[in-house]
Amino acid sequence: MSATPETNSEKLTFRMYKDGEKPDSYKRAQEKIFQAGWSYKCPTYIQSTPPCQGSCPSGEDIRGYLNIVRGIEKPPVGADGKPVMPWQEYAWRRLTEANPLPAVMGRVCPAPCESGCNRNQVEDHVGINSVEHYLGEYAIKNNLQFKKPEKLTGKKVAVIGGGPAGLSVAYQLALKGHSCTIFDDHEHLGGMMRYGIPGYRTPRDVLDAEIQRILNLGVEAKLKCKIGVDITMEQIRKDYDAVFLGLGAQGGRALPAEGADNVSNVVTATAFLKAFNDGRLKTVGKNVVVVGGGDTSMDVATVARRLGHIDTVRPTDWEGAIAGQLAQDVASISNRQGADVVLTSVFMTASKQELEHAQSEGIEIMQGWMPVAVIKGGDGRATALRVKQCEAKMVGGRLDIKPIEGTEKDLPADLIVSAIGQTVDLVGLEEFNNGKGMVSTDKNYQVQGKPGVYAGGDVIRPHLLTTAIGHGAIAADGIDQHLQGLEVGRRPKVDVHVFDLMRKYVEKGLPLEEVKEPVRGTDATKSVHNYDNRSDRYIIPHTELFLGHFQYTPRNKRHITHLNKESALGNFEERLDPLDDKQVVAEAKRCMSCGLCFECDNCVMYCPQTAVYRVKKTEATTGRYVATDYDKCIGCHICHDVCPTGYIQMGLGE
């Protein structure tokens, strides 16, 4: 979420007084403050959700793990007074409460959290993805494992589909003590992370390590097992207490152009990428045309550019590889030549970074062009794609595309790849089809009219990998309640993981009787008083922050290996390097901790009544660094005005 600044048509003026007013009718501001004992408003401590978390489909506690990395929130200590774990592990464990695949997502997630970051109002967003990448790498390097539950419930859940949604729900349910079995019709788990994204973006050793960590919780995997062929849905219902449908959209959409049907060298993006990731596809034709505009189309274009072409290879060889036949036996890399790749799109939705990478590698981008017809030769194979310029805009929630007459042109093509979307294969699961090739669910992701059956990921709506992970986490809560015989409860308005002050008190061994909603006056009991956690319903905008506190600080950017047209050929090495220890701490310090105290001392220093004070170190914890003596407070609201994070709100007494 990002706040839109309000527009004001009134002319700006810097005059202190209006016409006809006398200066002596105004008292000094200090006098007004010090005589404001009549004010009924006093500060309360309001925890809110920051917009980075509100924008994260996985619901990660981003502010929480950034505060750990920067050193504000410390790991718990043992009996010897030393931290029970390094800060890196503590931050990783906070992160993985929502997302068990940070090393993968830190590389490939388009990071909607960064678009929502309030720091964009100062200079540039916090590199959240970079921190996630670093923590994921640390966990793999140090062989960190998830903690198994102390006891099992005896309940069994079948998870159909081993992609991000299925892995997420299995992970969350395993932590709750339920036994999970993942059914997948592929040779390996990972779904689109393995079969849809090239290995130079998701290194396979990284993906394997994060999947294995989930399996180590006791999650079972039955691979090369297709529902409706190798096992029936009826049998699954007999053997398991609940079912989760996490099928990915691994079927491609056909090219919407005249003459595109049943042409051997007109293929879908999913078929192309699967052939490449399986190791079957080794080369492509000289001229490749990709139709799309999203990140998947960028993957197809950059893979084609890297594969290049070999004149001695017959077209039917690489067409056969895409169709699922044996791997090509091709000449060495020295005999390859670069393919000329053109990407056409009606409108571009790919990330700016991926677009820039593709252009730097010599891929021609044609925005605002629609496919019209496939031009074929005498052998029935495509020789070109006819395209036409167009104008596209959203009208009433639907995309309205208007072609521009007289703009047709033919793009030479040895291979045409349709990357305009994916479909879900529901063969064997027809009973769940909502008539649109998808599955309909409620807000808990329970399939409508099917108690005990839940779904998530592309089978609901093809979207981001992080969205599928979030679906799995929410569905796991619903499945857990179903298995306990409880009525599935309502989800909060802002459905994300957030910092838990109460857990922090317990973790530090501090005495705590109860949490009291804002009350008038100072509470002397061992309670957290005048504190309210509104994280489940309120996302704090930048207008509630004191942005003047933050100085311009450049973002610590990861090193990216940039390739050109020549160096991209045959280069399947990873391009993205993680930040180092110092860089990641410096980047985390750029976080403005929106909606939660980050211990800057502004409120203590600027309070004219010394009403705001630091809590004793023996009683303090993250989120309870300061408190207010309401016997001294006069309601001047200076503490609120100088609070950079918006944690202090004036509302007590309303």
Q: How many domains does the chain have?
A: 3
Give me the sign of the Cα torsion angle 473, 106, 118, 293: negative
CA 312/CA 310 separation, integer angstroms: 6
CA 201/CA 249 separation, integer angstroms: 19
What value does the mean pLDDT take over residues 389-410? 88
What is the structure's pLDDT at 26?
A: 44
Q: Is 144 a member of any domain?
A: no
Beta bridge partners of 252: 422
CA 360/CA 505 separation, integer angstroms: 52
What value does the mean pLDDT take over residues 541-554? 94
Does residue 30 register a pLDDT over 60?
no
Both 468 and 514 in one domain: the answer is no
CB 146: neighbour CB atoms within 10 A?
Answer: 16
Both 376 and 269 in one domain: the answer is yes
Q: Write out the H or E segment, with its range, that includes residue 384.
A: strand 382-395
- Among residues 402, 420, 438, the one where a domain terminates is 420
Both 346 and 279 in one domain: the answer is yes
Query: Using CA atoms in the order 471, 355, 541, 393, what is the torsion angle rounded to 10 degrees?
Result: -90
What is the structure's pLDDT at 488?
A: 87
Token output for 463: 């979207």
316 pLDDT band, cuts 50/70/90, is low
> What interhelical angle do 62-70 and 87-95 show, nearest 10?
180
What is the structure's pLDDT at 326?
A: 43
Token output for 220: 């079972």
Q: Do the beta carbons of residue 125 and residue 591 sit within 8 Å?
A: no
124 pLDDT band, cuts 50/70/90, is very high
The string of pLDDT tens digits covering residues 173-209 is 999 999 999 999 999 999 999 999 999 999 999 999 9
Give phi and psi for 198, each to the nearest 5: -60, 150
Q: Do the beta carbons of residue 445 and residue 456 sit within 8 Å?
A: yes
Q: Looking at residue 283, which CATH number applies to its domain?
A: 3.50.50.60
| DSSP string covering 238-278 | HH-SEEEE-----EEPPP-SBT-TT-TTEEEHHHHHHHHHT
User: If we measure between CA atoms, which residue out of 183, 61, 648 comes closest to residue 429?
Assistant: 183
- Of residues 405 and 328, more confidence is placed in 405
312 pLDDT band, cuts 50/70/90, is low
Using DSSP bridges, classify how beta strands 369-376 and 382-395 pair: parallel, antiparallel or unpaired.
antiparallel
Query: Using CA atoms in the order 19, 22, 25, 26, what is the torsion angle rounded to 10 degrees?
Result: 70
Both 221 and 299 in one domain: the answer is no
The mean pLDDT value of the chain amounts to 87
Both 642 and 517 in one domain: the answer is yes
Does residue 309 register a pLDDT over 60?
yes
Residue 297 makes CB contacts below 8 A (sequence gap 6+) with: 269, 290, 291, 343, 345, 350, 417, 419
Both 442 and 355 in one domain: the answer is no
Q: Is 60 a member of any domain?
A: no
CA 321/CA 339 separation, integer angstroms: 17
User: If we measure between CA atoms, which residue out of 561, 579, 581, 580 comes closest to residue 571?
Assistant: 561
The string of pLDDT tens digits covering residues 457-478 is 999 988 899 999 999 999 999 9
Percent of the chain with pLDDT over 70: 87
At which residue do the structure tokens 């200076």 appear?
638
Does residue 23 register a pLDDT over 60?
no
What value does the mean pLDDT take over residues 343-353? 88
Beta bridge partners of 206: none
Q: Is 142 a member of any domain?
A: no
Beta bridge partners of 182: 159, 221
Q: Do the beta carbons of residue 457 and residue 163 sit within 8 Å?
A: yes
Give the range of the structural domain holding residue 376, as residue numbers without chain letter: 253-420
Both 510 and 624 in one domain: the answer is yes
Q: Is 117 a member of any domain?
A: no
Q: What is the helix, strand, coil percentage profile of the chain, to 5?
A: 30, 20, 50
- Of residues 33 and 184, more confidence is placed in 184
Beta bridge partners of 441: 447
The string of pLDDT tens digits covering residues 612-641 is 999 998 888 999 999 998 888 888 889 999
User: If we measure between CA atoms, which residue out of 100, 411, 444 comes closest to residue 266?
Assistant: 411
Residue 572 makes CB contacts below 8 A (sequence gap 6+) with: 198, 199, 200, 306
What is the structure's pLDDT at 586?
A: 98
- The amino acid at 323: A
Give phi and psi for 18, each to the nearest 5: -85, 165
Token output for 83: 């931290």
What is the structure's pLDDT at 176?
A: 97
The string of pLDDT tens digits covering residues 208-254 is 999 999 999 999 999 999 998 899 999 999 999 999 999 988 888 89
What value does the mean pLDDT take over residues 47-61? 96
Both 385 and 522 in one domain: the answer is no
Q: Is 143 a member of any domain?
A: no
- Among residues 453, 483, 513, the one where a domain terminates is 483
- Among residues 370, 403, 420, the one where a domain terminates is 420
Q: Is 239 a member of any domain?
A: yes
Using DSSP bridges, classify how beta strands 156-160 and 287-292 pair: parallel, antiparallel or unpaired.
unpaired
Residue 164 buriedness (CB in 10 A; 0-12 / 13-18 / 19+): buried
Both 199 and 347 in one domain: the answer is no
Does residue 96 register a pLDDT over 90?
yes
Residue 427 buriedness (CB in 10 A; 0-12 / 13-18 / 19+): exposed
- The amino acid at 247: L
Does residue 36 register a pLDDT over 80?
no
What is the structure's pLDDT at 516?
A: 60
* Entry field: residues in the chain: 654
Q: Do the beta carbons of residue 155 and residue 174 sit within 8 Å?
A: no
Q: Do the beta carbons of residue 95 and residue 144 sit within 8 Å?
A: no
Q: Is 396 a member of any domain?
A: yes
Q: What is residue 433's DSSP assignment?
A: -
Q: Where are the extended beta strands (E) located within 495-565?
A: 531-533
> What interhelical angle do 295-307 and 352-360 show, nearest 10?
20
334 pLDDT band, cuts 50/70/90, is very low
CA 373/CA 107 separation, integer angstroms: 37
CA 218/CA 178 separation, integer angstroms: 9
Does residue 335 register a pLDDT over 70?
no
Q: Is 15 a member of any domain?
A: no
- The amino acid at 593: S
Percent of the chain with pLDDT over 90: 66
Both 411 and 435 in one domain: the answer is no
Both 322 and 402 in one domain: the answer is yes
What value does the mean pLDDT take over residues 156-168? 97
Angle value at C-alpha 224, between 280 and 296, nearest 5 degrees:
50
Both 322 and 387 in one domain: the answer is yes
Residue 503 makes CB contacts below 8 A (sequence gap 6+) with: none
